[in-house]
Amino acid sequence: LLIRHISALAFLSPLEIPDAFDELKVILPSDAEPTIQWFENNYVYGRVKRILRNGRVQRHNPLYSPEMWSVFDNMEFGFPRTQNKVEAWHRRWETLLARAHVGIFTMIKQIQKEQNEVEMEIDQSMHGEPAPKKRKEDENREARIQNVIADRGNRSIIDFLQGIAHNLSL
């Protein structure tokens, strides 16, 4: 559960993430040190560039800054926090083509089929038909996460991360 707290950092605002990460490092087990160091170098602070004589550390920018991976704004405005729909589309596309090297005409036919399906979904949406239902389990998980986010003001950072971590799966 403690290692899931690292993923839960994504639910904080980008400005809160470095301080929360520092608090989190203190409570994580010592055997998680390689993971912690990797996450710190690539996602929070960046790799150490040099250590100055006065002990200050200069760092490169992180490979993926917190602004890039924080879902704080998405949750606040009700946007999806994952790319699952895009990933599902890619998986379906690979299934439709069913092989690595496809001729151009086969690809054009599949694109036309895909366009027809998308236009049909748009028409359904325009006529007021409801979007496909999420699985009940996913709906419940999202509601629990929203409850933890709504209660953010009453929780310490670690309690907030723990509440989110309970609802994440790795």
Give the span between the Cα atoms of 44 and 104, in whole angstroms: 44
Write down the domain spans for the chain. 4-79+140-165, 84-126
- For 7, the token pair is 């993923």
Neighbour-count burial of 82, counting CB atoms closer than 10 A to its CB (0-12 exposed, 13-18 middle, 19+ buried): exposed
Residue 39: the pLDDT is 96
Per-residue model confidence as pLDDT tens for the chain (170 residues): 688 999 999 999 999 999 999 999 999 999 999 999 999 999 999 999 999 999 999 999 999 999 999 999 888 777 766 666 777 777 877 777 777 777 888 888 888 988 998 899 899 989 998 877 778 888 898 899 999 999 999 999 999 999 999 998 76
- In this prediction, residue 170 carries a pLDDT of 66
Query: What is the reported pLDDT for 80?
Result: 66
pLDDT at 123: 92
Residue-level pLDDT at 83 = 64
* 103: exposed, middle or buried (Cβ count in 10 Å: 0-12, 13-18, 19+): exposed
- Structure tokens, 96: 């439709």
Q: How far is 109 from 111, CA to CA, in rounded Å?
A: 5
Give the model's pLDDT for residue 70. Answer: 92
In the block, residue with structure tokens 């038909």? 129
Q: If 0-12 CB within 10 Å is exposed, 13-18 middle and 19+ buried, where does residue 59 land?
A: middle
